[in-house]
A and B are shown apart, each in its own frame.
Chain A
Amino acid sequence: DSGVTQTPKHLITATGQRVTLRCSPRSGDLSVYWYQQSLDQGLQFLIQYYNGEERAKGNILERFSAQQFPDLHSELNLSSLELGDSALYFCASSVEGWADEQYFGPGTRLTVT
């Protein structure tokens, strides 16, 4: 158990809908990262937050957004969902950022039908 929790574990929704994925980092970790793992694109970095502020951005679509709250939990919002958004979404956390070990959560499996 990495200490990072993600909810829900599984999510099935229809195209055009909006969903919110939630992540609670390890106690004491200030950075949260979001990744998408799909068969087509592999494992891709989406976005990083550090202590409530966006720090780094990867291949995140405009339909996706994220935020980190004062209690350091983070949410990833996915809107106008398409079939191609079906993937495993991971959250990871680290103490600060650069070169710190990232601890991954168990992931949320999103299926868009």
Chain B
Amino acid sequence: AQTVTQSQPEMSVQEAETVTLSCTYDTSENNYYLFWYKQPPSRQMILVIRQEAYKQQNATENRFSVNFQKAAKSFSLKISDSQLGDTAMYFCAFMNPPGANSKLTFGKGITLSVRP
């Protein structure tokens, strides 16, 4: 079974600075997808970024980028120029390949606080 580990329960960053959130996963599959979701205090789950395992190039979405290390099974999220609105819980998620039971597996999440 796939597992997703987010070992840091909480992080704090000063506004305008850069922060990196860590995530590791365990799988024997070669083809899969990885995601970062954001859950602000409103509880709405919002997709931040996704990475296809067969693509070597790291995904980027504006101030958000990932460092995908397939061999190390590591998928960290870098937030540049942090803004107060980035304060939220961030979940790393793994999607296993299509098949009888393709599903999203989430990590336990990390609470990020952006300080003014």
Contacts and interface: CB of A to CB of B under 8 A. Distances in A.
Contacts of A45: 103-106
B43 A98 contact: no
Interface string B40-60: 001111110010100000000
Interface residues of A, number: 23
Contacts, number: 49
A84 interface: no
Interface residues on B, range: 20 to 34
Contacts of B101: 56-57
A7 to B, nearest CB: 15
5 contacts: A33-B104, A43-B109, A56-B101, A56-B102, A56-B103
Interface of A: 2, 33, 42-45, 48, 55-58, 88, 90, 92, 97-99, 101-104, 106-107
Interface of B: 33, 42-47, 50, 52, 91, 95, 97-98, 100-109
